[in-house]
Amino acid sequence: MNKNVTFLIAALALSACNSGPAQPPLSEAPLAGAAIGAPFTLTDQDGRKRSYDEFKGKYRLVYFGYTNCPDICTPDMQHLMAGLTMFEKAHPVLANKVQPMFITVDPGRDTPAVLKQFVSAFHPRLIGLTGTDGEISATAKAFAIHYERVEGSSPESYLMGHSQVPYLMGPDGKPLALLPADTPNTDANEGDPKLVAAELSKWVR
């Protein structure tokens, strides 16, 4: 057999072995084409202005919640960031293309200092974002997030009802899929980070 042909066959075989499972095109993502997301500028946990567009070319993991959320936001963030960490260990180069963001729906209490303490508990690259009531309202509306204040026993003890929607946005800032933050695993009634990592593996490239 011709040496060049032999070399080509070997190279193709090696490529096939290293390629892993085939990924569907981004055009087939569950949320492809949905009118979700828009540019925004908010304030991060260090008091700096951050814009959505500064992360063009990266996949954005976007979650809306608040730090005083008693039952949903903390476990969701634990599972999402644990899944991202698993993805980082398996695919460090690809994982570096994913920027996680936590956007508060409670800007009155979630100051940059409060957000800094909150996000630091989950992942070193997680950005916490806050802003004025108007900025948060406009951003939430652009991402199809509903939230409302639920009064408590005192003015300080209110809760925030809000949509529980972890978005994976593409490099163009448009939606791709929802991440399974609260999908139960087989061993306990809690979210399964492996499913988050698998969904990231499916769409991030």
Say if residue 69 carries a ligand binding annotation: yes
Phi–psi pair at 198, nearest 5 degrees: -65, -40
Measure the CA–CA gap between 75 and 9, rounded to whole angstroms. 49
Amino acid, single-letter form, for residue 201: S
What is d(CA 185, CA 47) in angstroms, rounded to the nearest whole number?
A: 37
CA–CA gap between residue 134 and residue 42 (Å, rounded): 11
Measured at the CA of 157, the angle between CA 150 and CA 102, to 5 degrees, comes to 70
Angle between helical axes of 73-90 and 193-203 (0-180°, round to 10): 50
- To the question of whether residue 79 is assigned a binding role by annotation, the answer is no
What Å distances lie between residue 205 and 9, 19, 199, CA to CA? Answer: 25, 11, 12
User: Could you tell me the two tokens for 8?
Assistant: 């080509």
73 annotated as ligand-binding: yes
- Binding-site residue ranges for Cu cation: 69, 73, 162
- Binding-site residue ranges: 69, 73, 162
